Amino acid sequence: MTWRSPGNRISHEYPGRVRAILRSVGELSITAGVIMLLFCAYLLWGTSAYTQRQQLLLQQQLAEESATPAQPAADGKIPKISLGKAMALLRIPKLGRDYRYAVVEGVETDHLKKGPGHYPGTALPGQVGNFVVSGHRTTYSAPFNRIDELKRDDEIVVEAREARYTYRVTSQDIVEPNEIEIIAPVPGKPDISPIRSYITLSTCHPEYSAAQRLIVYGVLKETEERKV
């Protein structure tokens, strides 16, 4: 054997260098994997911290507002809710006694990070038309994670400043992301003008995907005026 001879020194050291490179590649790959796992954990749990902080503030805002009755502005109209502000409290008894989220006005990314968002321009709670609310299913506290469990006649309670509105679930559907007919004043029937008050909840479907949307429909069952 001549592997110790000076002529073969390079081929003697070469395997060591290859090993070092391979080890580094391996270490980097494992590191990348660990970072990706950590990122998944962040998406599922880290983002919730922000939502929970915001919800505390928003629910506080709602509590303060409900202490003072809505004052119509000088022109007699109730002032419009500004984007990003809390507009009502959503409770779904089926999903737990403590299930309550402040609904934010607006459905842009920044609004939905704070909680379920109301589509501006769709009906307000209790109004004739369609009260449409979207919420995250997996990230940012995942308020609508379990709305697939809602069955016919389950209650969705919306506590607005002036009254408590109880809707009952009528049906559930899975639609494509571009089916905006579901937010029409009569859900799914954009050509008809409404005579009833509807509620429509939307979230992503299947879970962890942006492929489709899960929709829960409801109709107003009961209105209980808030005593001032």
Partner 1 sequence: MYGWLWRKLPAPLGKRLLTAAVLAAIAAAVLWYAVFPLLEPAVTLDEVTVRR
Using CB under 8 A as the binding criterion, the count of chain residues that bind partner 1 stands at 37
Catalytic residue among 91, 164, 204, 205: 204
The answer to whether 144 and 205 are in contact (CB under 8 A) is no
27: contact with partner 1 by CB under 8 A: yes
What is residue 139's three-state secondary structure?
Answer: coil
Q: Please, which residue, 44 or 128, has the CB nearer to partner 1?
A: 44
**CB 49 → partner 1: shortest distance, Å?**
10
**Alpha-helical segments (H) within the chain:** 9-41, 47-67, 109-112
For 165-211, the DSSP string reads EEEEEEEEEEE-TT-GGGGSSSTT-TTSPPSSEEEEEEEEESTT-SS
| DSSP assignment letter at 15 | H
Torsion angles phi and psi, residue 142, rounded to 5: 45, 60
User: CB-hemisphere CA count at 13 Å for 114?
Assistant: 22
- Indicate the residue among 141 and 166 with the shorter CB distance to partner 1: 141
Q: Is residue 134 a contact point for partner 1 (CB under 8 A)?
A: yes
Tokens of 200: 């429509």
Q: Which of 111, 136, 137, 205 is catalytic?
A: 136
Instruction: Return the number of the residue (55 or 166) whose C-beta is nearest partner 1.
Output: 55
| Mask for 169-188, x = binds partner 1 (CB under 8 A) | ------x-xxxx-xx-----
Clarify whether 205 is annotated catalytic. no
Window 93 to 132, contacts with partner 1 (CB under 8 A): 107, 109, 112, 119
Catalogue the active-site residues. 136, 204, 213
Binding residues for partner 1, rule: CB under 8 A, are 23-24, 27-28, 35, 38-39, 42-43, 46-47, 107, 109, 112, 119, 134-140, 144, 175, 177-180, 182-183, 202-204, 208-210, 213
